[in-house]
Chain A
Amino acid sequence: GQNIDQPTEMTATEGAIVQINCTYQTSGFNGLFWYQQHAGEAPTFLSYNVLDGLEEKGRFSSFLSRSKGYSYLLLKELQMKDSASYLCAVRDFSDQAGTALIFGKGTTLSVSS
């Protein structure tokens, strides 16, 4: 089966940097996604990693280490609008999961002024 862990809640202040960690255990890893979800809204895509290393996209960066089953999402220059839940999701091609995208429980980030 699959197991995806991420912290439940985090807090930070405007202008700061925050790192949200995600660890996973899967049988057939085939990519890791990060999604952002504001309260009452649908998740929206942030980033995708399939090879080890850092992917940078503006204020957001995502890192992957396949050997350690570990990823993080780095948010720089935090803004109030970054207050949201951040969802780590793994694509698992094991027999049990088929071709599904499996989500962690999400990390709720609160940014204060």
Chain B
Amino acid sequence: NAGVTQTPKFQVLKTGQSMTLQCAQDMNHEYMSWYRQDPGMGLRLIHYSVGAGITDQGEVPNGYNVSRSTTEDFPLRLLSAAPSQTSVYFCASSLGTGAEKLFFGSGTQLSVL
């Protein structure tokens, strides 16, 4: 049981480049989400999904797109990378949205130059 798998672990981009952070879970979780973590700011929610075909914005959605075509996958797209998007990104999933705990991926360290 792999849990939540995030790729890549590290990425360096130039300003203006686009890329997709991949996230997959094999636990049949309905709920998936993306957070970014910056020093002194804690984990901030970017986008989330409560099931295939359903996505919604979190606290800091600007500059990011998501889609949820399958239950397993929830990719995060950076359309035109900016230095302000330098951060550690975590994908997380849970069985539901009540008492169910979030399981986190191992994170992606992204640097935008």
Task: Determine if A87 and B58 form an interchain contact, defined as CB atoms under 8 angstroms apart.
Answer: no
**A3-57 contacts to B (CB < 8 Å):** 30-31, 33, 35, 41-45, 48, 50
Contacting residue for A43 out of B43, B44, B58, B59, CB 8 A: B43
Task: Determine if B42 and A106 form an interchain contact, defined as CB atoms under 8 angstroms apart.
Answer: yes
CB < 8 Å A-B pair total: 55
Contacting residue for A100 out of B41, B45, B101, B104, CB 8 A: B45
B89-113 vs A, Cβ < 8 Å mask (1 yes, 0 no):
0100000011101111111000000
A98-113 vs B, Cβ < 8 Å mask (1 yes, 0 no):
1111111110000000
Nearest-neighbour CB distance to chain A for B40, whole angstroms, equals 7
Residues of chain A within 8 A (CB-CB) of B35 are 103
Task: Determine if B101 and A43 form an interchain contact, defined as CB atoms under 8 angstroms apart.
Answer: no
Nearest-neighbour CB distance to chain B for A89, whole angstroms, equals 8
B24-63 vs A, Cβ < 8 Å mask (1 yes, 0 no):
0000000101010000111111001010000010110000
Residues of chain A within 8 A (CB-CB) of B104 are 42-44
Task: Determine if B42 and A91 form an interchain contact, defined as CB atoms under 8 angstroms apart.
Answer: no
